[in-house]
C-alpha cells in the first residue's frame, strides 16, 4: 500500500512516512506467507497467526490513517469534474499557469493566473497557485493576500480551504509573523481536523514560545 505525499511548496516532509511504509509492507508480506502456510500446515497454529497479522494490519491502517500527511484532492480532479464552462476556461488558464510555474517562469505564470481570475474571479485555484508564484518570487506579503482570497473562495471545499490556511501559516511563519501564523494554523485545523501539517506548525510555534 504505497502512501503518496504531494508537495505544494514550503512543506515539511513527515519523518515517519518511510518507516510506516516499510512496516505496512512487512505486515502484508507476513499475511501472504501465512495464507501459503495455511494451505500446507495445520489449521490451528496458522489461523492464530493469520488473525494476529490481520488484527495488526487493521491497527496499523488506523495509525497510518492518523499519521499520514494530509493532502487535499488533486487539482486535476477539480478540472475533470468541472461542468461550468466559465470555471473550466478559468481552470485551463490555471493549468497553463502551473506549467509555467513548474518551469520557474514566474511572471508568465502570474499572467496566466491573472487571466484565470479575469475570466472567473471566484476561482479559488487561481488565487492559490498565484500565491505559490508569489512565494517562489519571495513576494510573501502578496502571497498572504492571495491566500486570503483563496481561503474565502474555498468555503465549501474544507480540505482545500485547510490547505490554503496551512500554506498561509507557513508563509507567515517564514515572515516571522508568528501570531498570525498561529491563527492560520488553528483555522486550518478547525477547517479540517486531520490536517497534520497544520498541527505540526502549531507544535513548532508552541516550542518557540
Partner 1 sequence: MWVVLFSVQSAKRVTDRMQSKTWKLASKVYVSPTILYPGVKFSQTDMIGYLDAFGYTKTESKVPKTGQWRKDFNRFLIGHRAFRDVNEEQSARVVSVRVDTGRVTGLTALDPTGLESSIDTLKLEPQLIGMISGDKLEERTLVSLNEVPQTLIDGILSMEDRKFYEHSGLSYKGILRALAHNVFRRGGKQGGSTLTQQLMKNFFLTNERTMSRKIREAVMTLVAERLYSKDQILEAYINEIYLGQNRAVAIHGFEQASQFYFSKPLPSATLSEQAMLVALISSPGKYSPYTHPKEALERRNVVLRVLLDEGKISQADHDEAVKEKIEPRGKKETQRTVPYFIDFVRAELSTRFESATLKEEGYSIFTTLDPILQEAANASVAEGLVSIENKLQSKNKNKAAAEETKAEPPIQVALVALDPHTGAIKAMIGGRDYAQSQFNRVWQAKRQPGSSVKPFVLARAFTPDASGRPHATPATILVDEPATFSYAGQEWTPGNFQNKYFGRVTVRTALEKSLNVAIVNLAASVGLEDLTEFFRQVGFSNVSPVPSLAIGAIEATPLELARAYTIFPNEGVRANPVSILSVSDPEGRPLEQSSVTLERIIPSTVAYVVTQVMRGALDHGTGRASRAMGLKGEFAGKTGTTNDYKDNWYVGFGRDLLAVVWVGYDDPRSIGLTGGATALEIWTRFMKRAFQKDTPGEFLEPEGVEWEEIDPELGCVSRSKNLLREVFLSGTTPKKCP
List the one residue out of 84, 59, 71 whose CA is nearest residue 162: 71
Evaluate the CA torsion angle 198, 189, 2, 50 in order and state its sign.
positive
Of 39, 43, 85, 102, the one binding partner 1 (CB under 8 A) is 85
58 makes contact with partner 1 (CB under 8 A): no
164 makes contact with partner 1 (CB under 8 A): no
Select the span of 45-53, 62-70, 141-149, 164-172 touching partner 1 (CB under 8 A). 141-149
Using CB under 8 A, count the residues that bind partner 1. 29
Least distance in angstroms from the C-beta of 209 to partner 1: 22
190 makes contact with partner 1 (CB under 8 A): no
Q: How many angstroms separate the first and last alpha carbons of the chain?
A: 39
Of 3, 88, 140, 205, the one binding partner 1 (CB under 8 A) is 88
**Cβ pair 162, 195 in contact under 8 A:** yes
Of 34, 146, 165, 172, the one binding partner 1 (CB under 8 A) is 146
Least distance in angstroms from the C-beta of 193 to partner 1: 18
Backbone phi and psi for residue 9, each to the nearest 5 degrees, phi listed first: 160, -125
Of 153, 168, 182, 197, the one binding partner 1 (CB under 8 A) is 153
Cell 505544494 belongs to: 8
Of 23, 142, 196, 204, the one binding partner 1 (CB under 8 A) is 142
123 makes contact with partner 1 (CB under 8 A): no
Of 11, 37, 115, 204, the one binding partner 1 (CB under 8 A) is 115
188 makes contact with partner 1 (CB under 8 A): no
Backbone phi and psi for residue 27, each to the nearest 5 degrees, phi listed first: -65, -40
CA distance readout (Å), 135 to 68, 132, 164, 198: 26, 5, 13, 18
Radius of gyration of the chain (CA): 22
38 makes contact with partner 1 (CB under 8 A): no
Spatial separation of the C-alpha atoms in residues 60 and 206, rounded to whole Å: 29
Q: How far is CA 132 from the centre of its chain?
A: 14
CB atoms within 10 A of CB 13: 11
What does the binding site for partner 1 look like in residue numbers (CB under 8 A)?
85-86, 88-89, 92-93, 100, 105, 107-108, 110-112, 114-115, 117-119, 121-122, 141-142, 144-146, 148-149, 152-153
Amino acid at each position: 500500500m504505497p502512501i503518496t505525499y504531494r508537495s505544494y511548496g514550503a512543506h515539511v516532509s513527515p519523518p515517519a512516512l518511510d518507516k510506516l511504509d516499510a512496516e505496512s509492507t512487512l505486515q502484508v508480506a507476513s499475511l501472504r506467507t501465512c495464507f501459503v502456510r495455511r494451505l500446507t500446515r495445520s489449521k490451528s497454529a496458522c489461523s492464530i497467526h493469520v488473525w494476529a497479522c490481520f488484527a495488526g494490519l487493521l491497527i496499523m491502517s488506523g495509525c497510518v490513517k492518523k499519521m499520514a500527511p494530509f493532502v487535499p484532492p488533486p487539482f486535476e480532479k477539480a478540472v475533470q469534474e468541472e461542468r461550468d464552462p466559465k470555471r473550466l476556461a478559468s481552470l485551463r488558464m490555471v493549468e497553463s499557469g502551473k506549467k509555467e510555474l513548474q518551469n520557474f517562469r514566474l511572471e508568465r505564470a502570474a499572467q496566466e493566473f491573472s487571466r484565470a481570475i479575469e475570466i472567473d474571479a471566484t476561482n479559488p485555484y487561481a488565487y492559490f497557485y498565484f500565491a505559490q508564484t508569489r512565494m517562489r518570487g519571495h513576494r510573501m506579503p502578496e502571497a498572504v493576500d492571495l491566500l486570503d482570497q483563496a481561503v474565502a473562495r474555498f468555503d465549501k471545499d474544507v480540505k482545500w480551504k485547510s490547505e490554503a490556511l496551512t500554506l498561509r501559516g507557513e508563509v507567515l511563519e517564514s515572515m516571522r509573523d508568528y501570531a498570525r501564523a498561529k491563527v492560520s494554523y488553528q483555522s486550518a485545523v478547525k477547517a479540517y481536523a486531520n490536517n497534520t501539517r497544520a498541527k505540526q506548525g502549531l507544535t513548532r510555534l508552541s516550542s518557540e514560545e
